[in-house]
Amino acid sequence: MSDLEYNLETLRQQIREAERAAGRAEGSVALLPVTKFHPVERIAELADYGFTLVGENREQEAREKAAHLAGRCGIAMIGQIQTKKANSVARWAAEVHSVDTLKLAHGLERGMTLALERGDRTAAVLPCMVQLSYDGDSARGGATPDKVPGIVEALEGAEHLELAGFMVVPPLDAEPREVFSQARALTDAYGAELNRKLRLSAGMSGDFREAIACGSDIVRVGTALLGPRPVR
């Protein structure tokens, strides 16, 4: 058994145990591997194990990996995006989980229009998640609660973007369960308003059990699955 196979089986078992402890159905939580700094060959290995989507934090690195993968595995942008990079992200991203400003939402819509006109992508709709911030720290990204309605409205009104849900990273000094619970409540409220299921992406290697207990649909795991990131 390879290290990846062992880590994957261990992690899946831990997720199943967390689902059972929370009274949730087995398989209700999706695992999103985070592959920042890991070589593209590791993503190809993950594809061999059935993964169709991984998460990347840096635009240039993600763009280069997407070009090498040639559609074998999609990449979700989960890191902060400069508005000037929106056109580029729209060309290669399978999903974007870090929309946190109106300017970025509008930039991604323009980027999608250009990408489709130029034949840079075939998928006409880009699923997007709004990244939430519960401390207002712009360096960490995320939209504060007062900014969320405008971003949701922009995504809902866009021709080539789709609101898929919300993503959250708890502030460093916060109680994760409180943040996860608030994010779940907000996700459900918008889901009820829009009359469709919206996903919550919450929880990483150190706190995914708490996130699952609070209703997370997606956990983002890098180190526990792939080991320490290579030094750059």
Per-residue pLDDT band at 196 (split at 50, 70, 90): very high
Given a cut of 90, whether residue 70 has pLDDT beyond it is: no
pLDDT in tens, 87-106: 999 999 999 999 999 999 99
Per-residue pLDDT band at 22 (split at 50, 70, 90): very high
What pLDDT does residue 230 have? 78
Indicate the pairing of strand 95-99 with strand 126-132.
parallel
What pLDDT does residue 139 have? 80
CB-side neighbour CA atoms (13 Å) of 170 = 22
Domain spans in the chain, listed from the N-terminal domain onward: 3-226
Q: Which of 98, 34, 200 is CA-nearest to residue 107?
A: 98
What pLDDT does residue 232 have? 62
Per-residue pLDDT band at 221 (split at 50, 70, 90): very high
3-226 CATH: 3.20.20.10
Given a cut of 90, whether residue 140 has pLDDT beyond it is: no
Given a cut of 80, whether residue 118 has pLDDT beyond it is: yes
Report the distance separating Cα 63 and Cα 111, nearest Å: 14
Q: Could you give the percent of the chain with pLDDT greater than 90? A: 92
DSSP string for the chain: --HHHHHHHHHHHHHHHHHHHTT--TT-SEEEEB-TTS-HHHHHHHHHTT--EEEES-HHHHHHHHHHHTTSSEEEE-S---GGGHHHHHHH-SEEEEE-SHHHHHHHHHHHHHHHHTTS-S-S-EEEEEEE-SS--GGG--B-TTTHHHHHHHHHH-SSEEEEEEEE---TTS-HHHHHHHHHHHHHHHHHHHTS--EEEE--TTTHHHHHHTT-SEEEESHHHH-SPPP-
What pLDDT does residue 3 have? 93
Q: Which of 173, 187, 167 is CA-nearest to residue 55?
A: 167
What pLDDT does residue 208 have? 97
Mean pLDDT for all residues in the chain: 96
pTM above 0.75, yes or no: yes
Residue 151 and residue 131 in contact, taking contact as beta carbons nearer than 8 Å: no
Name residues whose C-beta falls within 8 Å of residue 55's C-beta, 6 or more positions apart in sequence. 32, 33, 34, 35, 36, 75, 76, 77, 78, 97, 220
Across the range 17-43, mean pLDDT stands at 97
What pLDDT does residue 231 have? 67
